[in-house]
Chains A and B, each alone.
Chain A
Amino acid sequence: MKAISIKNLSFQYSGQKDLCLDNLSLEVLEGERFGLFGPNGAGKTTLMSLMTGLLTADHGSIELLGHNVSHNKKCINKLFGFVPQDFSFYQDLSPLENLEFFGAWAGLKSEEIKKRSIELLDVLGLTEVGDKQVRRFSGGMKRRVNLAIAVIHEPKILFLDEPTVGVDVQTRHAIVNYLLELNKKGTTLVYTSHQLSEAESLCEKVALIDEGKIIAQDTLNGLLSIHHQDRLEGLFLNLTGKAYRDS
């Protein structure tokens, strides 16, 4: 079954001349680990925001597990979890307090929240600081809190927008391993990052996006083979060029 189905999607920010996403179509199957890559400004975060309902498309449709994103937001929002690039929690609360609040908003009962919180803090190495204010945490610990909140309701699809930016090797390793564990249990992962070596170990299928269009999409090995590359970084530069993309 298709976890995500995007058809002819177009989106333009108000006040901007060019389309941010131009007639884009994409499919992700259930249980896949899907990587979405592209240079800065390619449209990755916009596409993520459209898939999670934070933005509304101008044209085209997005379906998550057969439900149209723009029609039944309340139902759709139960299906996925989202790890935004920014820290998305209350810094004045502890990890446990954040999980308690966001768990309730995700529709869990009090008992379920308690059980899941203990599990998540344990698996992400946060048990000892579970009742400390997040404000004083290191970047790596905050990234793990960010991830824990996104998966407290055991979503079927998990969107990850640069989930390991700014963390040390140990934290990155722990996060990637946890994501692989989740995927083994059936969670579909949709991942975007500039950490291409990390992407190689996490993603089985990738799409390269540039200037609002998908320029390549296949399994990682398939794309590397077609373009005669042995690393994702080489493939990336080959398809998107070496020029700066600051604008």
Chain B
Amino acid sequence: MFKLWATLVKDFRILTRDRVGLTLMFIMPIILVIVITSIQSSTFELVNDNKVPLILSNRDNGKASQELIVAIKEMGMFEISETKEDFNEKEIADFMHKKDALIAIIIPKDFSNKISLKAKDIAGKALNEFGVTEETGESPKDLVDPLTLYYHPVLQESFRYSIQGALRSALQIVESKEILQTLYFSLNEKELPKGLENEIINNQIPINEIPVSRDGSRNIPNATQHNIPAWTVFAMFFVVISLGSSVVKEKLSGSFIRLKTLPTSYFIALISKQISYLLVTLAQVVVIFSIGVFLFPLIGLPKLNLPSDLVGLLIVSLISGWCAISYAIAIGVFAQTQEQANGFGAVSIVILAAIGGILVPSFAMPESFQVLMILSPLHWCLESYYGLFLEGGTLGDIIMNLIPLLAIITVLQIIVLLGLKRKNLV
């Protein structure tokens, strides 16, 4: 036990004197988590909180176009700037850049008149079906000219579709109102009462939106809840730079020769390294999570809400940290030089992070990558954290994510032992 204690003390002394290693293990992930959360938070806000800037050019002077504008305004989704009605395509583009607008809509000339004609045509057909009136003849095709929608190329396809859907809904309201008014007038020879119109047009069945969580909490996922766990996992695995090169350094330096001539197994050194770096990874978790909880609200970012199962959180952190350490030691045992350990270690972590869903969400990956994803230990760490942070789960809910992680740890430890055995070190 004294040998292990002496080795732990030695490892901690070397670790705390390695300023570059400490910077990489603590400062770099802190910077990463703040920068990326800030960037993603503004994207989240753009989609969730902010209104989408929209430029509207109305070339029509009728009632229907005004009603369409009101319907668009009432959606609350857009921040509307109206332009001169005779803007051409180039002027629209320039105006969009100047106003920083993401979309522009042109309501064509004679829009209201043609909507009215179309409504009359449909109402006529309906009345004819009921046998109230006689056939009015062939209905004109493509009665209403289309609305023109310009969009900024940065706009994601899914976001564009949701804007299109919102506009269609506004158009539907205008068209339905026009048809309803025409029908009512034809039947009663008087205007449709406002109250009835509102009841028919605006009386839609409401939709309740609830984020799904296991613990029943109603926390809306934000950039902080996504990024803090993701970049904590990344930081944990980045100990490969410090630990991997520390193993290589020890292997290449004279101290290793001396260790081999002393009556103590190298297992002690391995256990000590695992314990000391496990404490480092736990310290990373505490530091990064504390930044999310205490610092983020002070700098205008969403606060990190810790999961209700704190024991589960500790166990996930311990297993994730142990997996990161096992990977780093495996790299250190097989690398011939520090450059190899650092280079391969860093590049492999970035690749594993990419296929593990840290850099790009896993659902956005091609199917072939989703197969590879299960090989990345970072994926299982991330899924375990997301189970706690985003889904409000407990340890029992994420156990199936921890089993693959434990399997990966076992394989890595066996690889390390085989490597040391081959080098006659254990």
Residues of A within 8 A of B (CB): 52-54, 56, 73-75, 77-78, 80, 82, 84, 86-93, 97, 100-107, 109-110, 133, 149-150
Contact = CB atoms under 8 A, between A and B. Distances in A.
Contact of A84 (B6, B10, B254, B263): B254
A73 B261 CA distance: 9
A92 B17 contact: yes
Nearest to A150: B258
Interface in B220-265: 253-255, 257-264
B9 interface: yes
B2 interface: yes
Contacts of B268: 105
Shortest beta-carbon contacts, A-B, top 6: A88-B254, A104-B6, A86-B254, A77-B263, A88-B258, A101-B10
Given A92-B18, A105-B3, 9 more contacts: A73-B263, A74-B263, A77-B262, A82-B261, A86-B254, A93-B10, A102-B258, A105-B6, A107-B264
Contacts of A91: 253
Nearest to B424: A56
Which of A82, A92, A107, A133 has most B Cβ within 10 Å?
A92
A73 to B, nearest CB: 8
Nearest to A88: B254
Nearest to A52: B261
A110 to B, nearest CB: 7
A64 to B, nearest CB: 12
Nearest to A94: B13
A109 B2 CA distance: 8
A89 B9 contact: no
19 contacts: A56-B424, A77-B263, A82-B257, A86-B254, A86-B257, A87-B254, A89-B254, A89-B258, A90-B14, A90-B253, A93-B10, A101-B7, A104-B2, A104-B3, A104-B5, A105-B3, A105-B268, A106-B264, A110-B2
A105 B262 contact: yes
Nearest to A161: B257
Nearest to B252: A86
B13 A97 contact: yes
A77 B260 CA distance: 9
Contact of B13 (A82, A87, A93): A93
Contacts of A102: 258, 262
Contacts of A100: 6, 9-10
A77 B14 contact: no
Contact of B258 (A82, A104, A109, A133): A82
B74 to A, nearest CB: 68
B9 A80 contact: no
A76 to B, nearest CB: 8
A91 B7 CA distance: 15
B351 to A, nearest CB: 31
Which of B253, B261, B263, B268 has most A Cβ within 10 Å?
B261
A109 to B, nearest CB: 7
B366 to A, nearest CB: 45
B275 to A, nearest CB: 15
B255 to A, nearest CB: 6
Nearest to B269: A105
B254 A106 contact: no
A202 B3 CA distance: 35
Contacts, number: 81
A190 to B, nearest CB: 13
Interface string B1-26: 01101110110011001100000000
A75 B263 CA distance: 7
B372 to A, nearest CB: 37
A102 B17 CA distance: 19
Contacts of B5: 104
Contacts of B9: 100-101
B261 A77 contact: yes
Nearest to B14: A92
Contacts of A92: 13-14, 17-18
B258 A84 contact: yes
A82 B254 CA distance: 11
B14 A54 contact: no
A105 B259 contact: yes
A56 B424 CA distance: 10
B338 to A, nearest CB: 14
Which of A86, A89, A90 has most B Cβ within 10 Å?
A90
B337 to A, nearest CB: 16
A110 B2 CA distance: 8
A54 B260 contact: yes
B255 A89 contact: yes
B49 to A, nearest CB: 50
A56 B14 CA distance: 32
Contact of A149 (B7, B10, B258): B258
Nearest to A82: B261
A105 B260 contact: no
A92 B260 CA distance: 20
A102 to B, nearest CB: 7
Contacts of B257: 54, 82, 84, 86, 88
Which of A56, A74, A101 has most B Cβ within 10 Å?
A101
A80 B258 CA distance: 11
B262 to A, nearest CB: 4
Contact of B10 (A73, A82, A88, A90): A90
A105 B264 contact: yes
Nearest to B17: A92
A54 B3 CA distance: 21
A121 B379 CA distance: 52
B6 A101 contact: yes
Contacts of B3: 104-105
Interface string B99-140: 000000000000000000000000000000000000000000
A139 to B, nearest CB: 14
Contacts of B258: 82, 84, 88-89, 102, 149-150
B270 to A, nearest CB: 14
Contacts of B13: 92-93, 97
A163 B259 CA distance: 18
